[in-house]
Amino acid sequence: MSHQFSDQLPSFEQFVSLHEASGLIKSKKGTYTREQLYQAAENSWYHISIYDQDQLIAFGRMISDGVYQALICDVMVDPSYQKQGLGKKIIEALLQKCKDSGIQSVQLFSAKGKQQFYKKLGFEERELDAPGMSLII
């Protein structure tokens, strides 16, 4: 099966539809509108989309300083297309952008239950004495 890759931001409707279908919208901490989530995607340093015909089936984005740090966000795959390696392709494309830009430090927050997926791709959990931390305000 041939899929099309694009680094252009999908339409608002496609983005929201995938966000909802993937269940990612339910896992967000805080209360954000669909418009705010799309604006976050617009403000990203880089994003990659995968399409089947004209249907958005996978998406991922990064925020970065463009020099040495990047944070992978919002990796999502339509449930009917999961287990086909599309999530892996999204991560590979995001990491290639980092390599091409000389960025060596890539972080991410995993959705609940997805840690093993990222470990298979080479990500490691942070050390117990240097944990990632967050604050919801």
Positions marked active-site: 118
Structure tokens at 39: 């604006």
What dihedral do alpha carbons 90, 44, 109, 129 form, nearest 10°?
130
* Strand bridging mode 46-52 / 55-64: antiparallel
- How many residues appear in the chain? 137
